[in-house]
Amino acid sequence: MYSFLSKQINKSYTKSTLTQNYQKILITMSPIIPHFSNECLTMINSKKVTWPSYDQSLLNENIVNIVIQINGKKRGLIKTHPDVSEENLLNKINEDEMLFKYLDKKNIKRKIFIKNKLMNIIV
């Protein structure tokens, strides 16, 4: 962290920007090394110490990767929207040339579908 901050000081940031970012780093280090971070926070005259907030909307994923296994071996990944149904996922698998070659003219004995994670097809 010291080497990173010393490199950033040489750039054209203002002192207040560096201090604010250093304060955020110290606050996030507080659960791990509380005495050190509190001492450093008092040295930079930080009066208000609050946990950094985050934007909940950035955590929502619009695309998920679903692992496709055939007979227990990973054969591919399909990117699709969350909460895709098993039937729609099978249609996408049949449209994919790389995956379809493993299923071509074979009888599917069993399908194991874990929502937003995995589809295992036993032939």
DSSP code of residue 24: H
Tell me which of 56 and 46 has the higher pLDDT: 56
Average pLDDT, integer, range 41-64: 82
Average pLDDT, integer, range 40-65: 82
Residue 18: other Cβ atoms inside 10 A: 15
| Domains in the chain: boundaries | 2-43, 64-122
End-to-end, the C-alpha distance of the chain in Å comes to 53
Tell me which of 52 and 70 has the higher pLDDT: 70
Q: 95 in helix, strand or coil?
A: helix
What does the alpha-carbon distance between residue 37 and residue 27 come to, in Å, rounded to a whole number? 7
Tell me which of 1 and 105 has the higher pLDDT: 105
pLDDT tens, residue by residue, 63-122: 999 999 999 899 999 999 988 999 999 899 888 888 888 888 888 899 999 998 999 999
Average pLDDT, integer, range 52-61: 82
Q: How is domain 64-122 classified at the CATH fold level? A: Ubiquitin-like (UB roll) (3.10.20)
- Residue 30 scores a pLDDT above 90: no
Report the percent of the chain where pLDDT is more than 70. 100
